[in-house]
Amino acid sequence: MNKLKRHQTGITMVEFSIVGSLFLLLLFAILELAIFVFHLQSMNDISRRTARIAAVCVVNDTDIKPLALSEGAPPGFTAENIKLDYLNKNGLAILDPVGNHADIRYVQARIIDFNYGFTPLLKFLGENGIVPIQDFRTVLPAESLGVLRSDVSSEKTDC
């Protein structure tokens, strides 16, 4: 019996190191995926915020995208990943929204061409940890488009 105990010395530490390392690996993988889902939600919110700001600001205002990116953007996300379109009543993009201001019925904001990079822990996902993100799209009805009511004033507001 004494000989059997001597051969078992340290086995608990080996078992704990194996089980503990697997547990920590799983825990950090779950945290990384949670951060990924958070960044997906923040990109969805950025598209919604961009469309909302564009619906009330002057057409083609340069402040729309920076205002939408004020918080919560994932690393590597820039204003170049936001595409803003003004749509007519049929949902088709208006090529010259400034010249055809009266035809604008909807504002569309899309998140385009963004690739999310995982940490080295999840590098096996995608192409070496880089995963292309689907295009997020938000369409809202155009509101004031930065123009005050004509019975009050004909001035344009600033975002």
Cβ neighbour number for residue 72 with a 10 Å cutoff: 14
Q: Which of 25, 28, 83 minimizes the C-alpha distance to 54?
A: 83
Average pLDDT on 128-132 reads: 81
* Strand locations in the chain (E): 82-87, 106-111, 115-117, 130-132, 136-141
Residue 60: per-residue pLDDT: 80
Average pLDDT on 38-56 reads: 92
- pLDDT tens figures, 101-112: 889 999 999 999
Q: How confident is the model at residue 18 (pLDDT cuts 50, 70, 90)?
A: very high
Cβ(118)–Cβ(142) below 8 Å = no
Q: How confident is the model at residue 158 (pLDDT cuts 50, 70, 90)?
A: low
What is the 3-state secondary structure of 51-79? HHHHHHCCCCCCCHHHHHCCCCCCCCCCH
User: HSE (CB half, 13 Å, CA atoms) of 79?
Assistant: 9
Cβ neighbour number for residue 112 with a 10 Å cutoff: 14
Q: Which residue has the tokens 């590597």?
A: 76
Average pLDDT on 86-97 reads: 91
Residue 124: per-residue pLDDT: 73
Residue 85: per-residue pLDDT: 93
Residue 45: per-residue pLDDT: 93
Pairing of strands 106-111, 136-141: antiparallel
Average pLDDT on 69-75 reads: 83
Q: How many residues does the chain have?
A: 159
Is the pLDDT at 149 greater than 80? The verdict is no
Residue 147: per-residue pLDDT: 73
